[in-house]
A and B are shown apart, each in its own frame.
Chain A
Amino acid sequence: MFTFTLRRLLIAVPTLLIISLVIFLLLEAAPGDPLGDVPLTVPPDVKEKMRAALGLDSPWYVRYVLWLKQFFWVEPLHLIDHLFGTSLGEGMQRVISFQSRQPVMQIIAERLPQTLMVVGLAYLIGVMIALPIGILSAYRQYSWFDNLGTFVSMVGFSVPTFFTGVVLIIVFAVKLQWFPSVYDTTLKVTDWASFKAQLRQMVMPVTVLALYNAAQISRFMRASMLDNLGQDYVRTARAKGLGERVVVLVHVLRNSMIPVVTVIALGVPTIFGGAIITEQVFKVNGLGQQLISSIHANDLPMVMTLTFIFAILIVLFNLIADLLYGILDPRIRYD
């Protein structure tokens, strides 16, 4: 297992380098100019200077290598400085956003909590309601509960989140006025009242996303349970005189969780990517929203860095999913 992990991590390095190059070239080739918003009255030579200040005058490969150096060397040094109070990265140029002239990582660190709080919590809740629903639906296949579950998850799956989100806003924020329609990122939880306000503003975005996640994962759980309920070893477990609870929740569930855990792990990176649309609908100031606004503003360093972090997470969680598979299924040995 250890050598497998090590090997996979080593393979990940060239993979990620290639991904970073592809992202960089794609952004390079994309139309749009970071200085597009500069007024036409600004004289060309001033514009040229601004371009040079952003580093845009050097050829793309120089800028790419510079970005690599900043991302893989300077940023980690700054992180160490930040954590341990050292000053290793002092004076080195960090990845800077064109738009705000702030270090990109600093912006990401500011945005991450909003995203984790809303999208991460929604994922967690989605998983937690999906598993029991999937188990029960499979165990009582074609019962009214299963049919209802099938219907709800079909709706949850096929109706886009921007639609459910807007419907919720109209019903619960505009008509009933139970919840605020706009998520206030500046709200700090300091006491009971602000905690309640935080909860209230989280309810709708979390619900929308949790339902969407639950719809997917519960279907998956159900299918996996159904696969296993028909297996011979289930009959053996019953013939041994084990109770239904043990048969279903130990023997069948343990087997059914193997593919489901993999799917859940593979879904985790999408949390960090933020729920772009839901964040827009509820005005949650998260990473998804940041990405959209950076794309609009041609903020290349920001888009590049965000996309690349997302790629790292995908590669990482793919590895984690594989490792979990190996841990859960004794038939799989990686060494």
Chain B
Amino acid sequence: MPDGVAPVLSVRGLKTVFRTRGGEVHAVNSVSFDLRPGELLGVVGESGSGKSVTMMSLIGLLPSPPADVRAGQVLFDGADLLTCGADHLRGVRGAGIGFIFQDPMTSLNPVFTVGYQLREPLMTHMGLTRAQAQVRAAELLDLVGIPDAARRLKDYPHQFSGGMRQRVMIAIALACDPKVLIADEPTTALDVTIQAQILELVRDLRHKLGMAIIWITHDLGVIAGIADRVMVMYGGQIVEQAPVQDLFTRPRHPYTRALLKTVPSVRGARAEKLSVIEGQPPILRAAPAACAFANRCPQAFARCCVQNPPLYPAGPGHDAACFWDFDKDAPKDG
């Protein structure tokens, strides 16, 4: 990926807080990243690390209250989505940025036909008439690999299988040719063979349509297969980001290292036991003042408990938020 290309989406210092009865939960803490045109950015992290909240904050999908997007900038198409106002944001949702959610069984409205739900964004954003939208909707269903597309537009979501529904969701997200597609664990709820089909579909569409994709997942195996670049999240922060190859060969954050050890390796010795990461991810009651991973980290030392590490460069396009220098196997100086 050439540097110097203007990113399609640029996030700076994003902070999201939930106001709950038990006090504030700092779910996203100063997240900054860029998404380049055509790039597939993988986002990994344990449950509760703030992946979904980060992405939903970008386009204002979190219910407020309790969510409060407190600071930051989200630059897309020359506008800051956090300050641009509701009307502009609505124009971006669905048209500029498409979203796919985890659970295809509940993400479609049960009382409207699939055709209706596909036509909606087309008529709202592209000003198509009903008839034009119907034609385009059939093309879209065909594009995502649903046989007999024109006839299936009349069907209701419950008449589709889980995998087919997720294809419909993808068709809806792609309806208006978005520049960015955000997929929040789109295959987690599906069984393995369907998962593979959906991955294949996305890989295929990505080359056909040339959009940038943010792909959230728990599954590092999936990331290895499709991503260009990977972002690892922990405690509502980005703890490491790197080109995919680099991340797998030279992880520079203890959390990433631990995650990689939890993945069953196809080539590795079969007897090797999978390790699990001891302990629980934190629920942050305040913005982190120390490394959020320190209490679970084998490398942790005094500094980790009093200071929150910034992102240190660890190679070309590779940053890691850790005070430990894995090359020297010693604390970083400075």
Contact = CB atoms under 8 A, between A and B. Distances in A.
A238 B56 CA distance: 11
A168 to B, nearest CB: 40
A254 B116 CA distance: 13
A335 to B, nearest CB: 15
Which of B109, B113, B120, B173 has most chain A Cβ within 10 Å?
Answer: B109
Contacts of A240: 93-94, 120-121, 124, 172
A246 B107 CA distance: 17
B111 interface: yes
B158 A233 contact: no
Nearest to B122: A240
Interface stretch (A61-69, A98-106, A279-287, A324-332): A324-332
Interface stretch (B42-50, B98-106, B318-326): B98-106
Given A232-B103, A232-B107, A330-B156, A241 B61 contact: no
Interface in B82-109: 90-95, 98-99, 101, 103, 106-109
A246 B123 CA distance: 13
Nearest to B56: A235
Contacts of A242: 90, 94, 120-121, 124
Interface in A246-278: 246, 251, 254-255, 258
Contacts of B120: 237, 240, 242, 246
B156 A232 contact: no
B112 interface: yes
A242 B93 CA distance: 8
Interface string B27-67: 00000000000000000000000000000000101000000
Interface in A293-335: 328-331
Nearest to A142: B65
A93 interface: no
A251 B110 CA distance: 10
A251 B101 CA distance: 17
A233 B107 contact: yes
B250 interface: no
B65 to A, nearest CB: 9
Contact of A331 (B101, B103, B110): B110
Contact of A255 (B98, B99, B109, B158): B109
A237 B107 CA distance: 9
A243 interface: yes
A104 B233 CA distance: 79
Interface string A200-240: 00000000000000000000000000000001110111111
Given A241-B90, A241-B92, A241-B95, A235 B61 contact: yes
B110 A241 contact: no
Contact of A330 (B91, B101, B110, B121): B110
A36 B61 CA distance: 73
Given A241-B121, A242-B120, A242-B124, A236 B108 contact: yes
Contacts of B156: 330-331
A241 to B, nearest CB: 3
Contacts of A328: 111
Contact of A254 (B90, B101, B111): B111
A243 B91 CA distance: 10
Contacts of A238: 61, 93
Nearest to A238: B61
B93 A239 contact: yes
Interface in A40-94: none
A233 B98 CA distance: 15
Contacts of A251: 109, 112
A142 B110 CA distance: 28
B125 interface: yes
B169 interface: yes
Contacts of A231: 106
Nearest to A243: B90
Contacts of B61: 235, 238-239
Contacts of A232: 101, 103, 106-107
- Of B103, B112, B156, most buried by chain A (CB within 10 Å of CB) is B112
Contact of A241 (B103, B112, B125): B125
Nearest to B105: A232
A255 B110 contact: yes
B103 to A, nearest CB: 6
A236 B107 contact: yes
Q: Which 6 A-B pairs have the closest CB atoms?
A: A241-B94, A241-B93, A239-B99, A240-B94, A232-B106, A233-B109
19 contacts: A232-B106, A233-B109, A236-B109, A236-B172, A237-B120, A238-B61, A238-B93, A239-B61, A239-B101, A240-B94, A241-B125, A242-B90, A242-B120, A254-B109, A255-B110, A255-B111, A330-B110, A330-B113, A331-B158
Interface of B: 59, 61, 90-95, 98-99, 101, 103, 106-113, 120-121, 124-125, 156, 158, 169, 172-173
Given A233-B106, A236-B99, A243-B90, 15 more contacts: A232-B101, A232-B106, A236-B107, A237-B120, A238-B93, A239-B99, A241-B90, A241-B91, A241-B93, A242-B94, A242-B124, A255-B110, A330-B110, A330-B113, A331-B158
